Structure 1
């Protein structure tokens, strides 16, 4: 009890002071979200061929639930880190990406309401999650943002300017592409390396938007400490997706040039981010 009381006192002080503390509300929201994401990860990544039985709607083929599951797995790691973080700036940028993602999911749910299995309990969980989080996540970001400080120690590692420029441009391009594909998923349906429906195309566009926004936002703060948790989450997420590619290579059309562009691009990005992570950690 003393520990919780102390956390509450520190949180109350943090609301009015830019001391970069993570508020108790932020920690509890993160802890509440983790079980939802963990359950989605287990179903979508663990048994992607059985979404009819265990998920809110039937998803075919397996690569789409693999990508979704990998994203939720990375989300479990991220929100677990939020629940124990001491400094708000180390996790703050990702909240904007997650906000964008939840908006995409909420709109996709409304647009494709008929595609869902309304009698399955996971449908209820899905609706609750994406009815609440589009408001809750940005609210937490705004409230906890009042504690954020841009101060950094003189010896603190910073991201190299070229990395920030490339990351920002990449983030902007992917975000704009994700918005375009969400609005008009037809080109993605016709050319994507594996089969997607209007609903799954829009869901994947939501994941692209999350990736784009966090990459664009995180580079606004030069501190490596502000990017570390995001990079760790991305390393996990992309590694899980690439393992899924190996598991379900039969979903892909090898004659489609986009197959090699998408898979090769993910592998290259994972390798470059791993190199960046190791280099920054040695500073």
Structure 2
């Protein structure tokens, strides 16, 4: 039985992921995999291996956790899937990639010029915003605005709460990005103006996803993107545990950040499992006896 999506059906929409979109995912995934390996598994070697030196290693692992979420997301784009299952992840990728592109040129002197990783980094963040913008343009009108056959309509109060949580993360991310000097003094681990902007870009991701819940109640429209967010959260929490000595525990923001990440992980897991169970229950009641 289809759940009420809260959106109107659109005539002529095929809800398929176009070939261009899959090619974009196929191009981006290898770069994300390499970056994740370098930053999460070898976070202390960025001076030799990466486009710029990232210190402390916790910041490298924090960025790598976002890349892992990107891997999960783009793999779901490559799977046999529907456009409305993944569409809300692309605005988040667009904002994230654009902010990192801006940060690169604002801190041009901090990069390892001539290093292969620098060339790849610059190429990726100059090109990716345009590739992702192209995805949003070519897929415009592909979502029919109707739920899957087995779907669940998210309650309005739940959508408002998640959108509010996402908005808080988004605002915090923008503050980090546009006012790095003010946040460096109070952040939970050491930052530079460049790493503050990078951390801010990472924090914009959940907000850019969750805000769409105010207009779309379909669980199917967020399930696959939430898988990516969950993957990121798991590795962020693990990084905070592994690199706990990088934290400035005398600052209240350190414990607040750790507590917020742990709470978010638990809440997101519970939310994901609850929505999946409700979707299965609705599907079971629709089965003929």
**What is aligned with 1:113?**
108
**What is aligned with 2:142?**
147
Range with greater deviation from structure 2 (124-133 or 178-187): 178-187
**What is aligned with 1:213?**
208
- The 5 A counterparts of 1:75-94 are 75-94=70-89
Provide the rounded CA distance (Å) in 1 between the counterparts of 2:173 and 2:64.
Answer: 19
> Which digits, 9 at most, give the CA deviation of each residue in 1:229-261, with x for residues without a partner?
111111111110111111111001222111111
**What is aligned with 1:223?**
218
* 2:15–2:83 contact (8 Å) kept in structure 1: yes
1:155 shift after superposition: 5.6
1:154 shift after superposition: 7.1
> Which digits, 9 at most, give the CA deviation of each residue in 1:17-68, with x for residues without a partner?
3021110111111011000000000000011000011100000001100101
* 1:170–1:216 contact (8 Å) kept in structure 2: no
> Which digits, 9 at most, give the CA deviation of each residue in 1:147-188, with x for residues without a partner?
111012576212121210011222223323322321111121
C-alpha RMSD of matched pairs (Å): 1.4
**What is aligned with 2:50?**
55
Aligned residue pairs, count: 268
| Residue segments in structure 1 that go unaligned for 5+ positions in a row | 1-15
Provide the rounded CA distance (Å) in 2 between the counterparts of 1:81 and 1:264.
Answer: 29
**What is aligned with 1:41?**
36
Provide the rounded CA distance (Å) in 2 between the counterparts of 1:238 and 1:154.
Answer: 30
Of 90, 98, 102 in structure 2, the residue corresponding to residue 95 of structure 1 is 90
- The 5 A counterparts of 1:157-236 are 157-236=152-231
* 1:40–1:69 contact (8 Å) kept in structure 2: yes
Provide the rounded CA distance (Å) in 2 between the counterparts of 1:60 and 1:181.
Answer: 17
SS at match of 2:185: helix
Aligned: 1:134 with 2:116: no
**Bigger fraction of residues in helix:** 1
Higher RCO, Cα 8 Å, sep 6+: 2
Provide the rounded CA distance (Å) in 2 between the counterparts of 1:186 and 1:56.
Answer: 23
